[in-house]
């Protein structure tokens, strides 16, 4: 970090004291550090101690008027290679997302054309609050980078969860990574981080539940993690996302509009209502069968064998993939197989009218169903790509980047 100029914006939170260590480490690595403190931050650490460590004067609202003469907020924000916001409080994040400029910190952030790294720290409930999550999605979409928060014990007693400020070495590593990219301004990054802006992505996810009677149902082991990760990735990339989800124990991915369904028939109806879309990703593990007629009352034991009369469910992917009307330009299916993965997937691609099939081995020993990672093969008209084992979030990210590139090319070809 030799000679790199860091502007550290210190927000008002209990974790503000960790900034003292951050300043020390940044300077140890040769960076020049200047600090802006919000009014609330000065309640937690004194500007004097920050100034002692930065070896520079500290900028707070209190000095606003003088500062405008000596060094304005524009200069403050421009004379930096990187801006680090730590701790990024819920309030500071909200101000950044809303484009507020009512104090020195928020004005500097509004005025900057430099990369910004935010290290959130707050109470877990404040972090998980939909408003904060919406703001974070918006800021990520704007090219703001985040490190943390970490999960663990909070300063308040009996409080634990996501909301701890990332550790100083983690913040340093994130800063180094951004500076290593040559300090590309986040406004320039915008286009590349929102490659799905203006697109509508429709995703199905989770299992379906097919009733046997009012209290029992047929289900499968799908957790919905892969489909939800696809929806989250598409939203981060700027798409309007409709997520049609069967029953799952996951929180709604930020920035998506979720339609909850139970059965395959409900899922098909919701998908049809959500069209048109630019991309449709069918990641749901739709039950292949449903009972022919579920009785209105609970089935009782009779001491005899009981057979369920099953009929096939509609194939949602095939219905949309083979429809001539309102077929999205890019239709992506998943193929869960336990053997001959690629061969079956290639067959499914043709049979269901999909453009791409993401094929994965879901044999019990792979731990894919309900697990965190996935080893997939992307089967397209042009052949098969073997992807390395990745977290489901990374599979999602890579898939949506490919989708964005596909749409970009087809739009360019049409012009």
Catalytic residues: 220
- Burial track 202-231 (b if 16+ CB lie within 10 A, e otherwise): bbbbbbbbbbbeeeebbbbebbbbbbbbbb
Q: Tell the smallest beta-carbon distance from residue 296 to ligand CTP (Å).
A: 25
Closest residue by Cα to residue 122 from 21, 37, 12, 22: 12
- List residues bridging with 336 in a β-sheet: 360
Cβ proximity to ligand CTP, 168 vs 316, nearer residue: 316
82 phi and psi angles, rounded to 5 deg: -155, 140
Question: Binding to ligand CTP by residue 336, rule CB under 6 A?
Answer: yes
Residues 348-367: x where in contact with ligand CTP by CB under 6 A, - otherwise, as a string: x-------------------
Closest residue by Cα to residue 1 from 242, 172, 130: 172
Question: Binding to ligand CTP by residue 316, rule CB under 6 A?
Answer: yes
Terminal Cα distance for the chain, rounded: 45
Q: Tell the smallest beta-carbon distance from residue 394 to ligand CTP (Å).
A: 19
Q: How far, in Å, are 192, 300, 338, 408 from residue 413 at the CA level?
A: 20, 62, 38, 9
The torsion region of residue 99 among left (phi > 0), alpha (psi -120 to 50) and beta comes to left
Question: Binding to ligand CTP by residue 288, rule CB under 6 A?
Answer: yes
Question: Binding to ligand CTP by residue 335, rule CB under 6 A?
Answer: yes
Among 58, 317, 378, 396, binds ligand CTP (CB under 6 A): 317
Question: Binding to ligand CTP by residue 258, rule CB under 6 A?
Answer: no
Q: Tell the smallest beta-carbon distance from residue 370 to ligand CTP (Å).
A: 15
Cβ proximity to ligand CTP, 52 vs 370, nearer residue: 370
Residues 93-132: x where in contact with ligand CTP by CB under 6 A, - otherwise, as a string: ----------------------------------------
Choices 36-44, 107-115, 311-319, 397-405 (CB under 6 A): range interacting with ligand CTP? 311-319
Question: Binding to ligand CTP by residue 224, rule CB under 6 A?
Answer: no
Question: Binding to ligand CTP by residue 315, rule CB under 6 A?
Answer: yes
Among 117, 244, 264, 270, binds ligand CTP (CB under 6 A): 264
Q: Tell the smallest beta-carbon distance from residue 60 to ligand CTP (Å).
A: 55
Q: Between 47-54 and 18-28, two packed helices, what is the crossing angle to 10 degrees?
A: 10
The single-letter DSSP state of residue 370 is T
Number of other CB atoms surrounding residue 181 within 10 Å: 10
24 phi and psi angles, rounded to 5 deg: -60, -45
Among 88, 96, 97, 286, binds ligand CTP (CB under 6 A): 286
Residue spans of alpha helices (H) in 99-129: 104-111, 124-128
Question: Binding to ligand CTP by residue 321, rule CB under 6 A?
Answer: no
Number of residues that bind ligand CTP (CB under 6 A): 15
Q: Tell the smallest beta-carbon distance from residue 216 to ligand CTP (Å).
A: 20
Q: Tell the smallest beta-carbon distance from residue 252 to ligand CTP (Å).
A: 19
Q: Between 130-141 and 225-236, two packed helices, what is the crossing angle to 10 degrees?
A: 60
Question: Binding to ligand CTP by residue 334, rule CB under 6 A?
Answer: yes
CA distance 327 to 276: 8
Both structure tokens of 201: 């992505």
Closest residue by Cα to residue 162 from 140, 129, 139: 129
Find the binding residues for ligand CTP in span 128-157 (CB under 6 A).
none
Among 38, 107, 112, 313, binds ligand CTP (CB under 6 A): 313
CA dihedral 229, 99, 114, 189 (to 10 degrees): 40
Choices 31-39, 52-60, 184-192, 309-317 (CB under 6 A): range interacting with ligand CTP? 309-317
Cβ proximity to ligand CTP, 132 vs 263, nearer residue: 263
Choices 22-30, 41-49, 76-84, 329-337 (CB under 6 A): range interacting with ligand CTP? 329-337
> Do residues 210 and 309 lie in contact, with contact meaning Cβ atoms separated by under 8 Å?
no
Question: Binding to ligand CTP by residue 53, rule CB under 6 A?
Answer: no
- Burial track 346-384 (b if 16+ CB lie within 10 A, e otherwise): bebbeebbbbbbbbbbbeeeeebbeeeebbbbbbbeeee
Binding site for ligand CTP (CB under 6 A): 204, 264, 282, 284, 286, 288, 313, 315-317, 333-336, 348
């Amino acid at each position: 970090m030799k000679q790199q100029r860091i502007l550290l914006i210190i927000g008002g939170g209990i974790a503000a004291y960790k900034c003292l260590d951050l300043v020390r480490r940044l300077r140890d690595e040769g960076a020049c550090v200047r600090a802006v403190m919000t009014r609330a931050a000065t309640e937690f650490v004194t500007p004097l101690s920050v100034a002692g460590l930065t070896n520079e004067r500290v900028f707070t609202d209190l000095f606003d008027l003088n500062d405008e003469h000596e060094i304005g907020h524009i200069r403050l924000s421009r004379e930096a290679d990187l801006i680090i916001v730590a701790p990024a409080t819920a309030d500071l994040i909200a101000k950044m997302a809303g484009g507020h400029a009512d104090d020195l910190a928020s004005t500097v952030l509004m005025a900057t054309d430099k990369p910004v790294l935010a290290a959130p720290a707050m109470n877990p409930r404040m972090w998980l609050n939909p408003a904060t999550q919406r703001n974070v999605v918006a800021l990520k979409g704007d090219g703001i980078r985040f490190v943390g928060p970490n999960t663990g014990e909070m300063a308040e007693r009996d409080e634990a969860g996501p909301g701890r400020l990332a550790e100083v070495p983690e913040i340093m590593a994130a800063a180094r990574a951004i500076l290593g990219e040559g300090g590309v301004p986040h406004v320039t990054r915008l286009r590349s981080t929102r490659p799905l802006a203006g697109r509508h992505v429709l995703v199905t996810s989770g299992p379906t539940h097919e009733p046997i009677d009012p209290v029992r149902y047929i289900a499968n082991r799908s957790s919905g993690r892969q489909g939800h990760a696809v929806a989250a990735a598409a939203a981060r990339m700027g798409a309007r996302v409709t997520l049609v989800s069967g029953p799952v124990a996951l929180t709604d991915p930020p920035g998506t509009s979720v339609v909850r369904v139970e059965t395959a028939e409900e899922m098909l109806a919701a998908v049809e209502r959500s069209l048109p879309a630019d991309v449709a990703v069918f990641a749901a593990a739709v039950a292949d069968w449903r009972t022919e007629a579920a009785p209105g009352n609970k089935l009782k034991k009779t001491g005899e064998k009981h057979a369920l009369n099953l009929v096939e469910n509609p194939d949602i992917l095939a219905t949309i993939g083979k429809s001539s009307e309102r077929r999205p330009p890019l239709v992506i299916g998943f193929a869960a197989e336990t053997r001959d993965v690629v061969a079956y997937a290639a067959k499914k691609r043709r049979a269901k009218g999909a453009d791409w099939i993401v094929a994965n081995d879901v044999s019990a020993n792979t731990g894919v169903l309900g697990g965190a990672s996935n080893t997939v093969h992307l089967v397209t008209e042009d052949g098969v790509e073997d992807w390395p084992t990745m977290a489901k979030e990374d599979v999602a990210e890579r898939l949506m980047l490919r989708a964005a590139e596909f749409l970009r090319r087809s739009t360019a070809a049409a012009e």
